[in-house]
Chain A
Amino acid sequence: MTFDLFVLPFFLGLNILVVILVVKYSRWIKGFEPADRERFRNGIFSWKSLDAAGEVFMESLLHRKMFRRNVLLGYMHMSFALGWFLLIVCGNLESRIYSKVHLNPPYYPIFLKFFVADEHVLRHELLSIPGFFRLMMDVFLLLVLSGLVLALVKRASSHWFGLKKTTRHTFFDRLAITTLWLIFPLRLLAESFTAAHYHGGSFLTNNFGDLLNSFLPAEQLSYPAWWAYSLALGGFFVSLPYSRFMHIPTEVMLIFLRHYGIKPTLHFNHYSNFEIQSCPKCGVCIDACPVHTNAHEDGIPPAYFLRTLKDNNPCISSTYNCLLCGRCEAYCPVGININALRVSQRIRYAKNLNGSFSYLKPSKIPTAEVAYFAGCMTHLTPSIKIAMEKILTTAAVDYQFIDRDGSVCCGRPLWMAGKEKQARELMDHNKKLIESTKCKTLILSCPICLKIFREEYGLNIEMLHHSQYILRLVREKKIDLKKEDLQVAFHDPCELGRGSGIFEEPRQLIRQMATLVAASEEKEMSICCGGSLGSTGISCYQRDEVSQLTLETLTANNPEAIITACPLCKKTLQKDSPVEVLDISEMVIGKLVDKEVFKRDLIYQEENL
């Protein structure tokens, strides 16, 4: 027997799912830029696909990143994904033992135990190939069921899974999750009822079947149970494309596309569709978002923001009120480029907003080896530019201060507000100014400038943050620093750390001058100071709430001072900080060893000995 009417819900559901997925994916891929389509075509039959398959195994099945976040959360996802995958693979192999043809219909392995229940081959001993498969199928089913138990526990108390808050569900999410949760218990019931009569299972289904048979009419119940199992499968497949479980197939596609070299662009495109549909709404980002947890702004975490995109229901507050600090990206197990997506939405909103900087007149700067660009925020905190000038003079660096008499903004704030065209106007102005100095190295004090200079200016010179440059001066022995008995914490500015990947240089520099104590959240996990120019929407009071949170994490180990490497962070944090807040350059001038004075002191000490 290879067919029964009850397979239809599953079979139809699966076909509907496949058709929807093929139609959606092919439409999106067709909509790619020609260069990206070319990458896709070239990628499919290359080693990149193997690499991608490896990552799919690690992330989509094993859920390595989820394990890193929380072991229980990782196990729950892994047991569902890997357990189900192994059930499919193992079931397919097992079905080949019984079928006489090479190609089975897709429902045959799924409902194998029903079709082959009365065949005598099932009665093999454990130490035979069919017996081994029967054992493995029960092991994998138990694996999935253990995940289901955890999922139910998570519903009741998510804090054990490292989640304070979980996502709100839509109707289709609920439908999909209900059918998903029913699939495996129903499979267990169906197989057990059948096994009670034929003993075609293994340790789990045979024994559970016997137990059920002791008080239930197992033989009569087995057929309805197979129907229910098939209905649950069919229901899940049909609701999948409209629920958060769309991430299961889409994330796999996304991993392959990434390996083929397709990258997100500034504008929303068909690749963005793959990204937004890959969001599993796992909710890891909700606790990560300081605007959500402390400034009580709803709709900001990507789980909700991406849903507005999925539903094509754009929301101006969730688009603009985000700080673009990027902490959610560091947490996201799928690695979705959330900031890029958010900016792409701002571009949509800002398309009719103008800007004109015709008042900027081109000028020239004398040539020098090194150029220093302070940026707007440094001009607002003049102690940093004074410190930088002192350091550069002490080290006898041949430099030009590009924006000494007033800064033209680097363009990053306009860029983040979605006004790309206007940002480019400012960028062109600054670019010409810097090119006129013919410098080889450009030093920037503001990480906001640094990020856009590095990513979008296309200057063919070395661009360093001042913390990197000062560290170089120390290593080249152009300046000497004295180390003092002082405990300090370092605040990672978003645009410097997560934004530009500079975590270590400022820390190495600080260790030359003081003892660095850890903050409770640091490096990729550090929290924005609250001043970020990424948000235009949130109020000053909400920003203060974020600052408070950041200060709590920074003062966790009672430092005597907080050191940062961004004028905006300094300005924002010092407002409420219980301890002194210094930019790294200001700290350096306090610890500079004046060589002449040092030599004099040494001679004086020797004479007096």
Chain B
Amino acid sequence: MPNFGYTISSDRQIDYDSNDRRIARYLAEHEPSFLVCFACGTCTATCSAGVFTTFSLRELIGNIKRGEIRNIATEAEKCMLCGKCQLACPRGVNTRNVILNIQRALEACGL
């Protein structure tokens, strides 16, 4: 196939039937404040780890809610638990507990 200098983006359609919502359900049960996140991105803007790497709590929560949990283990590991996002969050999400519970959920689901 001739190279035209661009590619076709992969399909971004969200298929709830094939996506894995187990982590989201675990979080909703163990840290319900996770549900009130409205993805404003303040957490990501203030993130200590975000200065050094492409870690984004906003993206992480969004992916979990959609059930796209392929990379979340390696992403959640980047958090330093410093707590800035928790103070900045306008919705009062218990962000540090969200991170810990993502890891607990992965363990509980055997992922």
State the A residues within 8 Å of B (CB). 320, 350, 352-357, 359-361, 376-377, 379-380, 405-409, 413-414, 417, 419, 426, 531, 533, 536-541, 568, 571-572
Query: Chain B contacts of A571 at CB under 8 A?
Result: 87
Query: Chain B contacts of A354 at CB under 8 A?
Result: 73, 77, 103
Number of A-B contacts (CB under 8 A): 91
Closest 10 CB pairs of A and B: A406-B51, A540-B92, A409-B80, A359-B53, A409-B82, A376-B82, A413-B81, A353-B103, A356-B77, A536-B97
Residue of B nearest to A410 (CB): B82
Query: Chain A contacts of B94 at CB under 8 A?
Result: 536-540
Bound Cα distance from A150 to B87, whole angstroms: 48
Chain B 57-86 near chain A by CB (<8 Å), digits 1 or 0:
000000000000000011001111111101
Known contacts being A407-B48, A539-B33, A540-B33, is A355 close to B77, with CB within 8 Å?
yes
Known contacts being A352-B107, A537-B97, is A409 close to B87, with CB within 8 Å?
no
B79 to chain A, nearest CB (A): 7
Query: Chain B contacts of A419 at CB under 8 A?
Result: 81
B96 at the interface (CB under 8 A from A): yes
B100 at the interface (CB under 8 A from A): yes
Known contacts being A357-B80, A417-B81, is A406 close to B52, with CB within 8 Å?
yes
B88 at the interface (CB under 8 A from A): yes
| A380 CB contact (under 8 Å) in B74, B84, B92 | B84
Give the size category of B's interface with A: 20 to 34
Residue of A nearest to B107 (CB): A352
Q: List 12 A-B contacts (CB under 8 A).
A: A352-B103, A352-B107, A353-B107, A355-B77, A355-B78, A357-B78, A376-B48, A376-B82, A380-B46, A413-B80, A413-B82, A539-B33
A54 to chain B, nearest CB (A): 43
Bound Cα distance from A360 to B33, whole angstroms: 30
B104 at the interface (CB under 8 A from A): yes
Query: Chain B contacts of A540 at CB under 8 A?
Result: 33, 86, 92, 94
Residue of A nearest to B85 (CB): A380
Query: Chain A contacts of B48 at CB under 8 A?
Result: 376, 379, 406-409
Known contacts being A356-B78, A540-B33, is A380 close to B87, with CB within 8 Å?
yes
Query: Chain B contacts of A538 at CB under 8 A?
Result: 94
Q: Select the residue from A360, A379, A417, A540 with max chain B CB neighbours within 10 A.
A: A540
Q: Select the residue from B83, B103, B107 with max chain A CB neighbours within 10 A.
A: B83
Q: Is the CB of B80 within 8 A of A426?
A: yes
Residue of B nearest to A356 (CB): B77
Residue of B nearest to A538 (CB): B94
Query: Chain A contacts of B107 at CB under 8 A?
Result: 352-353
B70 to chain A, nearest CB (A): 16
State the B residues within 8 Å of A (CB). 33, 46, 48-49, 51-53, 73-74, 77-84, 86-88, 92, 94, 96-97, 100, 103-104, 107
Query: Chain A contacts of B51 at CB under 8 A?
Result: 405-407
Residue of A nearest to B92 (CB): A540
Which label, helix, strand, loop or mixed, suits the secondary structure of the B interface? Answer: helix
B80 to chain A, nearest CB (A): 4
Residue of B nearest to A417 (CB): B81
Which label, helix, strand, loop or mixed, suits the secondary structure of the A interface? Answer: loop
Q: Is the CB of B46 within 8 A of A536?
A: no
Query: Chain B contacts of A568 at CB under 8 A?
Result: 83, 87
Bound Cα distance from A353 to B46, whole angstroms: 24
Beyond A352-B103, A533-B81, 11 extra complex contacts between A and B, CB < 8 Å: A355-B77, A359-B52, A406-B52, A409-B81, A413-B81, A413-B82, A413-B96, A414-B80, A426-B80, A536-B81, A539-B33
Bound Cα distance from A536 to B82, whole angstroms: 11
Bound Cα distance from A405 to B48, whole angstroms: 10
Residue of B nearest to A349 (CB): B104
Query: Chain A contacts of B86 at CB under 8 A?
Result: 540
| A356 CB contact (under 8 Å) in B74, B81, B83, B84 | B74
Bound Cα distance from A399 to B82, whole angstroms: 25
A195 to chain B, nearest CB (A): 66
| A541 CB contact (under 8 Å) in B53, B79, B81, B92 | B92
Residue of A nearest to B33 (CB): A539
Q: Is the CB of B92 within 8 A of A539?
A: yes
Bound Cα distance from A537 to B82, whole angstroms: 15
Q: Is the CB of B84 within 8 A of A379?
A: yes
Residue of A nearest to B93 (CB): A540
Query: Chain B contacts of A376 at CB under 8 A?
Result: 48, 80, 82-84
Q: Select the residue from B73, B78, B86, B100 with max chain A CB neighbours within 10 A.
A: B100
Q: Is the CB of B84 within 8 A of A377?
A: yes
Residue of B nearest to A567 (CB): B87
Query: Chain B contacts of A407 at CB under 8 A?
Result: 48, 51, 82
Known contacts being A536-B100, A537-B97, A539-B33, is A359 close to B84, with CB within 8 Å?
no
Bound Cα distance from A361 to B52, whole angstroms: 9
| A533 CB contact (under 8 Å) in B33, B83, B103 | B83
Residue of B nearest to A406 (CB): B51
B47 to chain A, nearest CB (A): 10
Q: Is the CB of A408 within 8 A of B80?
A: yes
B98 to chain A, nearest CB (A): 9
Query: Chain A contacts of B97 at CB under 8 A?
Result: 320, 536-537
A461 to chain B, nearest CB (A): 23
A135 to chain B, nearest CB (A): 64
Residue of A nearest to B99 (CB): A536
A186 to chain B, nearest CB (A): 52
Query: Chain B contacts of A417 at CB under 8 A?
Result: 81, 96, 100
Bound Cα distance from A380 to B89, whole angstroms: 12
Q: Is the CB of B96 within 8 A of A536?
A: yes
Q: Is the CB of B81 within 8 A of A414?
A: yes
Query: Chain B contacts of A405 at CB under 8 A?
Result: 51
Bound Cα distance from A271 to B82, whole angstroms: 31
Query: Chain B contacts of A414 at CB under 8 A?
Result: 80-81
